[in-house]
Structure 1
Amino acid sequence: MNETPRGSFGYRVQRAFTRVLVTLLVLGMAGAVAFLLAKLNARTFTLELYDGQLVVMKGRMLPWGAVPYQPGDARMADTYAPIPLEGQTVTNLLAEQFTERDELDRALFPVLETLAKPRIASDEPQAVERGVYYLRRAERLAGLSEEQRTRLKGMLAEVAYYQARQKLDEARKLITEAMTQLKLASEGDNRHSRSATQMLSKVGAPTQALDQALAEAVHTLSAPRAKETVEPPAETPPAAPPAPGAVITDSDTQARPPELDATGRDAGGPP
């Protein structure tokens, strides 16, 4: 086999071609590695603490870097929005990386649970509202484990009474407002006055009864029960001794126990 002599034009061309080929292979491999790293980084979720809020970050389509997570579905935007920690510490989460959104959901649930629990147990309406907000966010996390779903269901059941009471109160206000508007429409000279009058005559009495029932349910039946005080039984005063010279009847004798002497015998009986 003939070898190209060194220093010839053919040798230089062959060497240059080999270098170009090796360079292209190296660049291709580097590009493939960079592409794989970018794909992996784009699937990675991290959590960062910024201005007292826990921010969900998602990797860029680059080997490094991340931006705040913006879900493609606008309905999920509030689910992964920054979480106000309100003094809660989450240092253990800041060093973790999540390659799947389900893993992220399972990591976010304890944070929302800790924020919701003390608030839904409060007696202040504003605190309960805040707790319900955190529960609603936790409810939209699709990747929760079965244990977490059970805990979430328990908290939702605990707050269901408050929500029902609030909806009943809102319904009462809406009904009152509707009746006021019907009355205003019936008194005016317009094309709807006759229909408004008919509606008032039809629903006036039932609506008034419903309003009273709702008011009782919201403001009376749902009020905390007063503590019941148990009064001790009254003591029966001892019977007064008979007056001197009074006649003792049979009924008095039966009612009073026999008197005993020092030996334990009946003092009033035969010796």
Structure 2
Amino acid sequence: MNGNPQQGFGSWAMRALTRLVVTLLVLAMAGAVVFLLSQLNARTFTLEVESNHLLVMKGRMLPWGAVPFRPSDPGLADTYAPIPLEGHDVPRSVLEQRYTERDELDRALFSQLEALARPRIASDEPRRVERGVYYLRRAERLTGLSEEQRTSLKQMLAEVAYYQARQKMDDARKLIAEALAQLKLAAGADTRHARSANQMLTEVGPAADKLEEALRNAVHTLSTPPSQEPPAAPPGTGTPPTPPVPGPAALDGGSGPP
């Protein structure tokens, strides 16, 4: 009779130990799942629109939640800084997508930067073109682009290269004109640099004038569309014949010899 209580206690202890082990296993598995989900979320990027800016969000080290992506590397921080949208509508599919790799994120960002840049670099307004160049510079920083996107970026950079070259030539012309004006001012004044200014004007003045004129012509004449030529005459219409010059008989009233 003394063995029954001991056997009952042993069975109870075994069941309690089994429950404890099962509970610990369940908690360990749950912890492992939470840890794996947290790691997966921490490697996930999303895009979000806030205050008319496109923000790159990075998952927290939790199964859910995200914060703005702020890399410690200054180069990466500039690459993934908020993008001003200037009224551009980001497709809902882009905002709902979760990006587990940086390459996927770069391609999604490029699609929006391209949509912002194209209409601006095609504009004739210098300020809009400058904004387009800004978006292209942002796109150049992205390293995970596809081959098609790289080709598109090169084409857009080529389109805007003409504008940039024209702007730099105009800036150079203005600098040359300003330098010549300052040399003339210094040469005409009674200062210790007057002689040197005169020598510089004599040496580089004619060439600088020609260069300034060439730059002016390139920027303001050669870069404008060619003037339209007058329309050609319709076929079959030549120059009207010249009327005959009246002879002496006609001048005498048509009277012949008596």
Same fold flag (TM > 0.5): yes
TM-score (norm 1): 0.74
Are residues 197 and 33 of structure 1, via their aligned partners in 2, closer, same or farther at CA, if it must alter by over 3 Å? farther
Give the partner amino acid of 1:93: V
1:96 aligns with 2:97: yes
Q: CA deviation at 1:83?
A: 2.7
Matched, 1:36 2:40: no
Cα shift at 1:162: 0.3
User: Which residue does 2:7 correspond to in 1?
Assistant: 5
Question: As a proportion of its length, which structure holds more helix?
Answer: 2
Matched, 1:229 2:233: no
Corresponding residue for residue 122 of structure 1: 123
Aligned-pair identity in percent equals 62
Given the superposition, is the C-alpha separation of residues 237 and 96 from structure 1 closer, same or farther in structure 2, using an over 3 Å criterion?
Answer: same
CA offset at residue 38 of structure 1? 1.2
* TM-aligned CA distance change 1:46 to 1:197, over 3 Å: same
Corresponding residue for residue 262 of structure 1:
none
Residues 169 and 219, structure 2, Cα contact 8 Å, conserved in 1: yes
Secondary structure in 1 matching 2:127: helix
Q: SS of the residue aligned with 1:98?
A: coil
The unaligned stretches of length 5 or more in structure 2 are 251-258
- 1:106 to 2:113 alignment: no
Letter paired with 1:100: E
**What is the SS of the residue equivalent to 1:6?**
helix
In 2 relative to 1, CA 38–178 (structure 1 residues): closer, same or farther, beyond 3 Å?
farther
What is the one-letter code of the residue matched to 1:76?
L
Secondary structure of the residue aligned to 1:97 is: coil
The amino acid of 2:153's aligned partner reads L
Tell me whether 19-28 or 216-225 shows the greater mean CA deviation. Answer: 19-28
Aligned pair count reads 241
Q: Which amino acid aligns with 1:7?
A: F
Farther-moved stretch of structure 1 (200-209 vs 163-172): 200-209
Cα shift readout 1:200-255 (whole Å, capped 9, x = no counterpart): 55433332322222222112211222222224164323866x99x99xxxxxxxxx
CA-to-aligned-CA distance 1:18-49 (integer Å, 9 cap, x gap):
55544433333222222211111111111122
Give per-residue Cα distances to partners, 1:114-158, cap 9 Å, x unaligned. 221121111111111111111111222111111111111111111
Equivalents in 1 of 2:16, 2:196: separation in Å?
96
On the 8 A contact 2:106/2:144 being kept in 1, the answer is yes
- The equivalent residue for 1:52 is 52
Change (3 A) 1:7 1:107: same
